[in-house]
Amino acid sequence: MELVLKALAARVRRARRKILTLSFFTWGSVGAMIVLSSVQPTAYGLDFPMVTHLVLPSVNGEVLAQEPSVALFSQLTTKVSISANALAEVSLASRNIVIAHKPAGAKVVAKAIMQSEYNWGSHQFYCLNTLWERESHWNYQSHNRSSGAHGIPQAMPASKMDSIATDWRTNPVTQIRWGLHYIEMRYSTPCSALVKFQRSNYY
C-alpha cells in the first residue's frame, strides 16, 4: 500500500512539473510577443506610423508644374529680354531722329526705310533724292509760304502728316515716313513720282 502511495505521489509531482514548465513557456512566449509588438508594430515591420509617408504622383503622360523659382526666373528673363529689345528700338529711333535733322542724315534714314519697308533699291533712292532735293533740299523745316507745303516731302497741307504722327513739325523721320507712304500710295515708286514732278512741277 505504501508503495502504491509513493508511486501516485511521484506521478503527481511529474504532472505538476509539466504544468509549471508549460505555464512558464506559455507566459514567456506571451511576454516575448509583447516586447516584440512594442518594438515592431507588425510582424514584418512594414508599417511605421511615426514616419511620414511620401506619395509621389504618377508622371505618365502628365506635365509636372514648373517650380515657382524656375517660373519666376523664366518670367524675369523674358521681361528682361523684351525690355532690352524695346530699349534698343527706342535708342535706334532716337538716333535716327537726331541724325535726320541734317540733310545728309535724313538721306541715310530715308534710304534705310526704303530698303527695309518698301524693298526699293539704289535706283529708286536716286529718284527720291532728286525729287526731294528739288522740293526741300532735305530740310525738315522747309516751308512754302504761298502753298503751305511743309517739310522734306513738302506735304500740302502739312497737317496730312498727322496720319503718321503729330510730331511732324520737329521730327524729320515722321516727314520721311509720310512722304514714302504718299509716294507708294499715289505713284507706286519714287521714280514714277519724279516723272510726274518733271512734267508738272509737283507730285
Tens digits of per-residue pLDDT, 115-164?
Answer: 999 999 999 999 999 999 999 999 999 999 999 999 999 999 999 999 99
Alpha carbons 85 and 81: distance in angstroms, whole number: 6
pLDDT tens-digit readout, 82-124:
577 777 777 778 899 999 999 999 999 999 999 999 999 999 9
The answer as to whether 33 is a domain residue is: yes
- Residues 6+ away with beta carbon under 8 Å from 130: 194
On whether residue 154 sits in a domain, the answer given is yes
- Provide the domain count of the chain: 2
Tell me if 26 is assigned to some domain. Answer: yes
Q: Would residue 51 count as lying in a domain?
A: no
Model confidence, pTM: 0.59
Could you list the residue range(s) of the whole structural domain that residue 7 is in?
A: 1-44
Measure Cα distances from 165 to 40, 59, 171 in Å: 83, 54, 9
